[in-house]
Structure 1
Amino acid sequence: MSLKVKLLEYTPNPEKVIASAAKLCYSPVGIDEIQEGLDEERVNKFLNTLMSYGHESPIEHVSFTFAAEGVSRSLTHQLVRHRIASYSQQSQRYVKLDQFQYVMPPAIYEDEKAKKLFIKAMNDSQESYNILVNMLNKKYLNEGMTKNSAEKKAIEDARYVFPNACETKIVYTMNARSLMNFFRHRCCSRAQWEIRQLADEMLKEVRKVAPILFKYTGPSCVNGDCPEGRMSCGKINEMKEKYR
């Protein structure tokens, strides 16, 4: 199943909001005047000043909400490690998967033998899930549970046979500072291929609505040296070109 990412909502006028917060920090204005004179040039100046000072707290005032589908449980296990965020993921406890979708790594897809083995494993998981749901459902009904309760408990137990490749859908919200940290780690060539694809698509979306703020955003090496040491991909110039 192919990846799909959508920017659902975001703080209106995000760059102006950040510039207003920055202006309050660095000038003697009151709250009635903080947005006066904030044209595109002034907003750009405030944002560049913030980045050069390393003063990132004002960018926490804006947030972005995404929806993603066609992603694996393996990806979302990594995504939720970014803790300053909010997540709502499709539940396998409440949603019965009569035919689950899955994500196949490109390296497996390109190898016919590996591909057949992978597909067999997915089909076996679905078959086991179906059998377990039926077995457990009968067991819980016999124990006196209602029809709805028995099915819910059956699918929440049977789901343990599903693989990390199982496709899922998720809505998540990050403030701009957390989002930049996410891009620094997940746009890096050392990140796993799937979450790197997700990060690239997210970056395209936020640049449409906040081009100044995210102009120089990407992996860590875009704005400095590579932090990976001996594990560096050795393609800093290519990465700078790609993300700038």
Structure 2
Amino acid sequence: MPESRLEVKLLSGTPSAVSLIYAAFRQCYSPGFAGELWPQLLSGDVSQEKQADFIGKILESGHDSPVEHVCYTFAVQGISRALTHQLVRHRIASYSQQSQRYVDAQDFQYILPPAIAAVPEAKQRFEQFMGEVGRVYSDLQSMLTKSGRGAKANEDARFVLPQAAESKVVMTMNCRSLIHFFELRCCRRAQWEIRKMAWKMLKILRMELPVIFSKAGPRCERLSYCPEGKKFTCGKMPLKS
């Protein structure tokens, strides 16, 4: 069972994202009809720079709901079940996750925490245990198959798989949800694995849609103070008090 590595790929994004957000914002503040404005935006009558400038100014006022019209879809592999349990708590999103019920896990990959990797004896013990889990899974799968479970053996054998077991997901979030996700998960206090994934996603989106994501990141950077309070602050930013 080899160690797995994180990989994040952008699969899809809403076409003409800047123009769509611009049209939605303009609809909020204009007596005109966005449906009539749309062809002008696509033809270039209103430059992308002008659209982005308008969006930026409105966002500074705190009005951000129109960015929900734009979504991005990512494929991620090399993440643990421990991470995906955290990920699905972000409920304004869609997830498709690799099934341990249907996918054979005899040779499952795993995620090795850096803190364990840094201690040779801990790393050795961890890897020994992963190997033992694989053998137990295989034994149970064989026993269950012989007992009549057949193709359904996986759904019971999987109960021995650890949170370190590697998983793969496809997820879709709108821009507003992504900004919230980055505020929480790019924070230094976020768990190391989901923080690493969040920063990889943010790096991609800063290139894809800078007008929305160039300033996205930990919540403290937007607020200019740490909202975690004295007990939990990492010390990067001053407290609100």
Please confirm whether the aligned pair reaches a TM-score higher than 0.5, indicating the same fold: yes
Q: Matched residues in 2 for 1:160 and 1:28: separation?
A: 59
1:101-124 CA distance string (max 9 Å, x none): 000100000100100110111111
Q: Which moved more, 1:47-56 or 1:212-221?
A: 47-56
Alpha carbons 2:23, 2:37 under 8 Å: kept: no
The TM-score with structure 1 as length reference comes to 0.90
What is the RMSD computed on CA atoms of the aligned residues? 1.3
Alpha carbons 2:17, 2:70 under 8 Å: kept: yes
- Percent identity between the aligned chains? 50
Q: Which moved more, 1:43-52 or 1:59-68?
A: 43-52
Query: Deviation of residue 33 (structure 1)?
Result: 2.1
Query: Deviation of residue 55 (structure 1)?
Result: 1.3
The one-letter code matched in structure 1 to 2:55 is L
Q: Matched residues in 1 for 2:118 and 2:158: separation?
A: 28
1:229 aligns with 2:229: yes
The one-letter code matched in structure 2 to 1:229 is G
The one-letter code matched in structure 1 to 2:235 is G
1:86-235 correspondence to structure 2 within 5 Å: 86-140=94-148, 150-224=149-223, 225-230=225-230, 231-235=232-236
User: Which of 50, 57, 68 lines up with 2:58 in the alignment?
Assistant: 50
Q: Matched residues in 2 for 1:100 and 1:72: separation?
A: 11
Runs of 4+ that moved beyond 6 A? none
1:33 aligns with 2:32: no
2:169 alignment partner, SS class:
strand
Partner of 1:7: 10
Q: Matched residues in 2 for 1:151 and 1:173: separation?
A: 34
1:17-54 CA distance string (max 9 Å, x none): 10110011112222202554431232222222332221
Query: Deviation of residue 94 (structure 1)?
Result: 0.6
Structure 1, gaps ≥5 residues long: 141-149, 238-244
1:114-168 CA distance string (max 9 Å, x none): 001101111111111001001111111xxxxxxxxx3332110000000000001
1:16 aligns with 2:19: yes
1:153-196 CA distance string (max 9 Å, x none): 21100000000000011000000000000000000000000000
Alpha carbons 2:18, 2:48 under 8 Å: kept: no
1:67 aligns with 2:66: no
Q: Matched residues in 1 for 2:46 and 2:7: separation?
A: 35
Query: Deviation of residue 214 (structure 1)?
Result: 0.6
Q: Matched residues in 1 for 2:226 and 2:22: separation?
A: 29
Q: Matched residues in 1 for 2:134 and 2:111: separation?
A: 14
Q: Matched residues in 2 for 1:194 and 1:100: separation?
A: 18
Structure 2, gaps ≥5 residues long: none
How many aligned residue pairs are there? 228
